[in-house]
Amino acid sequence: MIKAVFFDIDGTLVSFKTHRVPDSTIEAIRLLRENGIKVLIASGRHLSMMYNVKEIEFDGYVTINGAVTYMDGTIIDRHPLEHETVMRMTDYVDVHPIPVCYVLENSLQMNFLNNDTDVIFQLLDFPIPPMSNLRDIACNNDVYQMIAFFSKEDEPIITRDVIPGSKCQRWHPLFSDVVTDGISKVTGIQAIEKCLNITPEEIAVFGDGGNDIDMLRYAGMSIAMGNATEEVRAAAKYTTTDVDHDGILLGVKKWILNRQKE
């Protein structure tokens, strides 16, 4: 029996076309709560950047791809990047200028913008982070994630030479989320499982991006959105329609609520 459902945000709860949560998804969340099922977020976003779902009540938040996890407004798990890793990236960017956003516990800081960043911020309807000196930020703060705009072709070299011990989670060709190796949305889900005293077989997850693959493989019930790539769909047990065609509501009714009655 499913006791908790985790949702990715961008492309899952929120449409890339409308930048809002469809009414059908709000109805699905209401039905889950009506049936006593916990509703939670598992996102690459920072907590302060979840403005597009702020009207919906959630029981907990896995944020920054598992780097910081909250229950009832309290941080229950955190995994900053190694300071040496952040400094190596800072040194690399000084020589090979690429846009990088450093994600802190309560803010985001970025070095500069270009055409690639414009594309992503428009896609996500994302406010532009403040521009900062990344070396100052790295020297004085814990950094939980680096959103780095390097190509997929450059990724193996950067992973090997610049950020060993870290992992790249890419859900768009233009950039990668860099987190501590071994940390993913599953890390945060496991912290919440411990709080709720539930097992992986008692959770369901919905996702559409590359950073959702780990949790889709992990959960007892996993549902990929219709807008997901083939790789993401292969990681899930089922695939629903996309976010703009009632995918969450269909998935909740067909594979969660109907099976609760069995």
pLDDT digits (tens, 9 = 90+) for 107-147: 899 999 999 999 999 988 888 889 999 999 999 999 999 99
Torsion of CA 194, 247, 171, 20, to 10 degrees: -90
Please state, in angstroms and rounded to a whole number, the distance separating the CA atoms of residues 9 and 236.
Answer: 17
pLDDT of residue 49: 86
Mean pLDDT of 234-253: 98
Q: Is the pLDDT of residue 262 over 70?
A: no
Q: Is the pLDDT of residue 261 over 80?
A: no
- Model confidence at 170, in pLDDT bands (50, 70, 90)? confident
Mean pLDDT of 28-48: 95
C-beta separation of 224 from 243 below 8 A: no
Q: Annotate 25-37 with b (16+ C-beta within 10 A) or e (fewer).
A: bbebbeebeeeeb
- Model confidence at 259, in pLDDT bands (50, 70, 90)? confident
DSSP 8-class letter at 165: T
Taking Cα atoms as reference points, which of 217, 223, 92, 105 lies closest to residue 161? Answer: 92
Taking Cα atoms as reference points, which of 7, 1, 120, 104 lies closest to residue 58? Answer: 7
In percent, the amount of the chain with pLDDT more than 90 equals 83
Q: Is the pLDDT of residue 166 over 80?
A: yes
The residue type found at 98 is: I
- Model confidence at 167, in pLDDT bands (50, 70, 90)? confident
Q: With residue 212 as reference, give the H or E element that holds it.
A: none
Instruction: Tell me what the pLDDT averaged over the chain comes to.
Output: 94
- Detail the DSSP E strand segments found in 90-153: 100-103, 108-110, 145-148
DSSP 8-class letter at 114: -
Q: Is the pLDDT of residue 31 over 80?
A: yes
